[in-house]
Chains A and B, each alone.
Chain A
Amino acid sequence: AQRVTQPEKLLSVFKGAPVELKCNYSYSGSPELFWYVQYSRQRLQLLLRHISRESIKGFTADLNKGETSFHLKKPFAQEEDSAMYYCALSSGGNQFYFGTGTSLTVIP
């Protein structure tokens, strides 16, 4: 069965420090992995997806099939990065499965 695990419910870092939000998945096929973000009082929105291999707002994520991980990283956290982050997996472009989320707080 497909599953997405985000082991940290809460994560606090100081401004300017590196940040890594962990995501592990289980899926027997070739997954598509995403990071969605929800800023305070805003809708859930796509941050980035592994296929695009892009950097958005300084964030990057690399799909590691050997470790079945898709960790989100940013070298220097900013206060505006404080938000709820959800890792998600798509199974063949149909269902999207979400993790339980990590609440990131960047301390000024």
Chain B
Amino acid sequence: DTGVSQNPRHKITKRGQNVTFRCDPISEHNRLYWYRQTLGQGPEFLTYFQNEAQLEKSRLLSDRFSAERPKGSFSTLEIQRTEQGDSAMYLCASSDRGQPNEKLFFGSGTQLSVL
């Protein structure tokens, strides 16, 4: 499968624990995005990378959230001291910024449940 891959698919954790998600984008894509989606809502932008540089972060991204893309390939999203309000689907998407018809390719997401 050459699409965007996200792991794990599901994560159940207790409040206060730290969690980390991984996203492997399509290999030639230089842009990588993280979104969060809750029930009944559309994807909400969290942050995005151009290669290894994190270019923008949403104000939704509190200091408990951190994302990295150390070599401009895969990315990790870490949530520290999880809260019940963090329960959501976390989506990763990648794109090739150089293409004239740039479009987002989404992964299947990681469903986080904080108990």
Contacts and interface: CB of A to CB of B under 8 A. Distances in A.
B107 interface: yes
Nearest to A98: B42
Given A44-B91, A101-B42, A96 B33 contact: yes
Contact of B42 (A45, A51, A52, A100): A100
Interface stretch (B62-70, B74-82, B97-105): B97-105
Given A44-B43, A44-B91, A101-B42, A95 B102 contact: no
Nearest to A100: B42
Interface string B13-42: 000000000000000000001010000111
A43 interface: yes
Q: How large is the interface on B (under 10, 10 to 19, 20 to 34, 35 or more residues)?
A: 20 to 34
Given A34-B103, A51-B101, A95 B48 contact: yes
B51 interface: no
A43 B108 contact: yes
A6 B40 CA distance: 12
Interface residues of A, number: 23
A60 B48 CA distance: 29
A9 interface: yes
A108 interface: no
24 contacts: A4-B42, A43-B4, A43-B106, A43-B107, A43-B108, A43-B109, A44-B43, A44-B91, A44-B104, A45-B106, A49-B103, A52-B101, A86-B43, A88-B42, A93-B97, A94-B56, A95-B48, A96-B33, A96-B45, A96-B104, A98-B35, A98-B43, A99-B42, A101-B42
Interface of B: 3-4, 33, 35, 40-45, 48, 55-56, 91, 93, 97, 101-109
